[in-house]
């Protein structure tokens, strides 16, 4: 990242994972080599992630733990309090990355508090999620520190090219949530992806994860199944041919499986 801190290109997502399955998933993930674990206060599983991080047997400094400020805390101006609550619930002394979950009203003020926590050394990197260029531009006008990361929904059907260009120009690294196309969205069954997977003797998930990381996009696929956690990580040393990348590049439909940031922000204006 722009501040010199390294972040793994592939990590484990934990959205919609219950507490116990989250604990097991994180333990399995660390066992097979994942070092980046992503959670959020709104997922309700921060305690399980923290516990697994503390008990997994890998040194804390070798792991990269990300969590996110909840919309309610951001809106209510409770950023610092929420951050310290999170550290306490997770049983951790610091976070590797703390993100503002959505650009809801209050996010510009919340960012100032993230900057302070960052300069106090309590977080190794700070960033945002679900920000479009207009949200980042507004932040730029008042921020002292440019976000290091912007985590957004991204996969071959939502390639976010313009946003990626905007972020690249500012040294903001893009991170993809729902890199597999989300829960039940059918991306992995897409005939083109299945065809590439068959030709390259890989799973569809490995194909779309490689599509991301080969472009420098950090992917955080969610799974609570040991076999999937293992196979999703088995992409090191594999690369897609130019022809494959072109076929995947042609799949973009600007198709979201999750909400648009304006929908989330709009809910706070009602």
Q: Give the residues lining the site for ligand A2P (CB under 6 A).
A: 13, 178-183, 188, 203, 205, 221-225, 228, 231-232
Q: Which one, 130 or 223, has the nearer CB to ligand A2P?
A: 223
CA distance 183 to 186: 8
Selected catalytic residue, list 23, 34, 43, 118: 43
Q: Which two tokens stand for residue 175?
A: 């991170």
Let me know the angle formed at the C-alpha of 66 by 189 and 28, rounded to the nearest 5 degrees: 60
Q: Which is nearer to ligand A2P, 45 or 79 (CB)?
A: 45
* Alpha carbons 225 and 55: distance in angstroms, whole number: 20
Distance CA 209, CA 13 (A): 13
Q: Is 98 assigned a catalytic role?
A: no
Distance CA 142, CA 3 (A): 19
Q: How far is the CB of 231 from ligand A2P (least distance, A)?
A: 6
Q: Taking the chain, what is the end-to-end CA distance rounded to the nearest angstrom? A: 37
Q: Report how far residue 4's alpha carbon sits from residue 260's, in angstroms, rounded to the nearest whole number.
A: 31
Tell me the closest approach of the beta carbon of residue 48 to ligand A2P, in angstroms: 14
Which residue, 122 or 188, has its beta carbon nearer to ligand A2P? Answer: 188
Give the nearest distance from C-beta 143 to ligand A2P in angstroms.
Answer: 29
| Residue closer to ligand A2P (CB basis): 28 or 118 | 28
Q: Which residues pair with 68 in a beta bridge?
A: 99
Measured from the CB of residue 86, what is the shortest distance to ligand A2P in angstroms?
22
Catalytic residues: 43
């Amino acid at each position: 990242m722009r501040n010199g801190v390294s972040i793994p290109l592939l990590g484990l997502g934990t959205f919609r994972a219950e507490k116990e399955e989250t604990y097991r998933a994180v333990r399995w993930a660390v066992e097979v080599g994942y070092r980046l674990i992503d959670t959020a206060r709104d997922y309700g599983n921060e305690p399980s992630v923290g516990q697994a991080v503390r008990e997994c047997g890998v040194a804390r400094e070798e792991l990269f733990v990300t969590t996110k400020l909840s919309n309610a805390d951001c809106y209510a101006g409770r950023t610092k309090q929420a951050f310290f609550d999170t550290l306490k619930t997770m049983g951790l002394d610091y976070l590797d990355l703390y993100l503002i979950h959505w650009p809801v009203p209050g996010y510009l003020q919340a960012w100032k508090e993230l900057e302070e926590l960052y300069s106090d050394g309590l977080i190794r990197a700070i960033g945002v999620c679900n920000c479009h260029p207009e949200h980042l531009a507004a932040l730029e006008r008042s921020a002292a520190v440019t976000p290091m990361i912007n985590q957004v929904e991204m996969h071959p059907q939502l390639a976010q090219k313009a946003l990626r260009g905007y972020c690249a120009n500012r040294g903001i690294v893009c991170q993809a949530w729902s890199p597999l196309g989300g829960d039940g969205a059918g991306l992995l069954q897409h005939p083109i992806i299945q065809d590439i997977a068959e030709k390259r003797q890989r799973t569809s998930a490995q194909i779309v994860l490689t599509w991301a990381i080969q472009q420098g996009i950090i992917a955080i696929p969610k799974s609570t199944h040991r076999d999937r956690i293992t196979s999703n990580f088995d992409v090191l040393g594999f690369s897609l041919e130019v022809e494959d990348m072109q076929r995947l590049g042609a799949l973009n439909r600007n198709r979201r499986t999750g909400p648009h940031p304006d929908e989330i922000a709009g809910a706070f204006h009602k």
